[in-house]
Amino acid sequence: MSKSIMQDLKSGRCYICEKWYSRDYAQTGLEKHHVIYGKGNRKLSEKYGLTVMLCRYHHQGDIRGASDAIHNNPDKTNDIRLKREGQRAWERKYGSREDFIKIFGENYDD
């Protein structure tokens, strides 16, 4: 497992549960999420440590169609929020906003 610049991947906690909802408890069944995905960006996310662990509910949703899941959800609010946090972490560690845009092709942080 590569090192994340956003979270200790071995913490046993869902990034969203812990950071956004202050749920500080270990969870099972966590899934690794590449913050910037698609168009070859998963490899870049892996390379630069833009990965977090998410519970199934916050990653893929569930049978109720989790309104705050990252995938399988027409409301992209939390997906964009996570990308913004990832971009900020990347800029703190690696370089400028312009550099981020050159590498990932987009600016997520208004």
pTM exceeds cut of 0.85? yes
Spell out the per-residue pLDDT of the chain, length 110, in tens.
479 999 999 999 999 999 988 888 888 889 999 999 988 899 999 999 999 999 988 998 865 556 778 988 777 888 999 999 999 999 999 999 999 999 999 999 98
Does a structural domain hold residue 38?
A: yes
Does a structural domain hold residue 90?
A: yes
Does a structural domain hold residue 47?
A: yes
pLDDT in the model for residue 62: 67
Whether 70 contacts 59, CB under 8 Å: yes
How many folded domains does the chain comprise? 1
Q: Which distant-in-sequence residues (6+ apart) come within 8 Å of 1 by Cβ?
A: 9, 10, 32
β-partners of residue 54 are: 31
Does a structural domain hold residue 7?
A: no
Does a structural domain hold residue 63?
A: yes
Range of the domain at 89: 15-104
Whether 58 contacts 69, CB under 8 Å: yes
pLDDT in the model for residue 63: 58
pLDDT in the model for residue 66: 62
CA neighbor of 35 nearest in space, from 4, 75, 73 = 4
